[in-house]
Amino acid sequence: MAPADVTNEALRIDGVLAVSLDRILYATSPVIADPVRYALASGGKRIRPVLCTLAWRAAGGTPGHAGADDVACAVELIHTYSLIHDDLPCMDDDDLRRGRPTVHRVYGSERAAVAGAAMIPLAFSLLEQGMDSIGLPEPERRTARQELARGAGAGGMVGGQVMDLAGEKALVELPALREIHSRKTGALIVAALRLGAMAARADDATVDVVGAFGAAVGLAFQIVDDVLDETGEAATLGKTAGKDRAQEKATFPGLLGRAEAMRHAHEAVEQAVSKIAAAGLDPAPFHVVGDFVLHRDR
Q: Which of 158, 163, 256, 277: binder of ligand GRG (CB under 6 A)?
A: 158
Contact 45, 10 (CB under 8 A): yes
Per-residue contact flags (x/-) with ligand GRG for residues 78 to 117, judged by CB under 6 A:
-x--xx-xx----x------x-------------------
Contacts of 156-161 with CB under 8 Å at 24 or more apart are: 156/183, 156/187, 156/188, 156/191, 157/78, 157/82, 157/183, 157/184, 157/185, 157/187, 157/188, 159/183, 160/184, 160/185, 160/186, 160/187, 161/82, 161/86, 161/91
Contact between 251 and ligand GRG per CB under 6 A: no
Helix count and strand count (H, E) for the chain: 16, 2
Q: From 77-85, 168-176, 240-248, 278-286, give the range in contact with ligand GRG by CB under 6 A.
A: 77-85
> Residue 255 Cβ, how far from ligand GRG at the closest point, in Å?
17
- With CB under 6 A as the rule, give the number of residues binding ligand GRG: 17
Per-residue contact flags (x/-) with ligand GRG for residues 37 to 56, judged by CB under 6 A:
-------xx-x---------
The residue number whose beta carbon is nearest to ligand GRG equals: 44
> Residue 278 Cβ, how far from ligand GRG at the closest point, in Å?
28
Judged by beta carbon, residue 154 or residue 205, the one nearer ligand GRG is 154
* 69, 112, 229, 239 from 90: Cα distances, Å: 33, 12, 21, 18
Contact 237, 228 (CB under 8 A): yes
Which positions lie near ligand GRG, rule CB under 6 A?
44-45, 47, 79, 82-83, 85-86, 91, 98, 157-158, 161-162, 184-185, 225
